[in-house]
Amino acid sequence: MGRNKRKNRPMSTAAVPQSAPAHSVKELLARGLPSLKRVTHQAARQKFWNGWLDGHIPAELRTRISGVAERDGTLVIFAESAAWSARLRYAVLELEREIRAAEPGLAAVKVRVRPRG
> Residues 52, 54, 58, 64: is their CA dihedral positive or negative?
positive
The most distant pair of C-alpha atoms in the chain lies apart, rounded to whole Å, by 88
- pTM higher than the cut 0.75: no
What tens digit of pLDDT does each residue of 12-67 get? Answer: 665 656 667 767 877 766 776 777 778 888 899 999 999 999 999 999 999 999 99
- Domain locations along the chain: 64-117
Looking from the CA of 85 toward its CB, the CA atoms found within 13 Å total: 18
- Of 7-11, 19-23, 34-38, 108-112, the one with minimum mean pLDDT is 7-11
- Are the C-beta atoms of 106 and 77 separated by less than 8 Å? no
